[in-house]
């Protein structure tokens, strides 16, 4: 199933996208995953609305700013911005189908950064392209072959892939 995190990972590693799509989660005791989890729970603690779960989506934060609805996605660093943007576009598009217009924000508390993501015609094309690509990956009967990359050493699947 396509989800926000499948789209995100498909920009980094096909194998990761396949595994996530098949509910084979990364090692939950991996130190980088634990840090990420901590940043998620400790940042923006005082915000009133937090985490909303919908099919294929786990929205970190949704709140109103003036007339606008903001969908916030908390990230540890700006390392995977391309994927984070797709993830937000996917959320924005899904909630638009439910008649809610919103703007996305990638929130990187550690870097004190906020990056706005807007769902316009061009980005919808981009999103659809990415969905098509991800669907192709996850419909494979087996996980795509492992490939060594610079991301492996900090990935929660490192020990799974390279054991």
66 versus 141: smaller Cβ distance to other proteins? 141
Q: Give me 135's structure tokens.
A: 């669907």
- Assess 67 for contact with other proteins (CB under 8 A): no
- Hey, which residues between 89 and 148 contact other proteins (CB under 8 A)? 141-143
- Assess 163 for contact with other proteins (CB under 8 A): yes
Enumerate long-range contacts of 150-156, CB under 8 Å, 24 or more apart.
151/12, 151/13, 154/32, 155/13, 155/16, 155/26, 155/32, 156/25, 156/26, 156/27, 156/28, 156/30, 156/32, 156/33
- Assess 27 for contact with other proteins (CB under 8 A): yes
- Assess 28 for contact with other proteins (CB under 8 A): yes
Question: Using CA atoms, how far apart are residues 46 and 118, in angstroms rounded to an integer?
Answer: 25
Question: Using CA atoms, how far apart are residues 129 and 13, in angstroms rounded to an integer?
Answer: 16
81 versus 152: smaller Cβ distance to other proteins? 152
Least distance from C-beta 26 to other proteins, angstroms? 10
- Assess 53 for contact with other proteins (CB under 8 A): no
Binding site for other proteins (CB under 8 A): 22-25, 27-29, 141-143, 158-160, 162-163
């Amino acid at each position: 199933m396509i989800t926000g995190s499948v789209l995100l990972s498909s920009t980094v590693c096909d194998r990761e996208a396949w595994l996530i799509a098949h509910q084979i989660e990364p090692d939950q005791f991996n130190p980088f995953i634990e840090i990420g989890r901590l940043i998620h729970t400790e940042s923006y603690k005082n915000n009133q609305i937090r985490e909303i779960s919908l099919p294929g989506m786990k929205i970190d934060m949704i709140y109103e700013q003036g007339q606008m609805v903001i969908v916030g996605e908390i990230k540890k660093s700006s390392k995977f911005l391309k994927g984070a943007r797709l993830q937000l576009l996917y959320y924005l598009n899904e909630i638009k189908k439910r008649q809610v217009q919103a703007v996305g924000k990638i929130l990187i508390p550690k870097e004190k950064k906020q990056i706005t993501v807007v769902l316009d015609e061009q980005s919808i094309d981009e999103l659809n392209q990415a969905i098509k690509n991800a669907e192709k990956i996850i419909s494979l009967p087996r996980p795509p072959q492992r490939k060594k990359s610079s991301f492996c050493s900090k990935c929660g699947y490192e020990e799974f892939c390279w054991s």
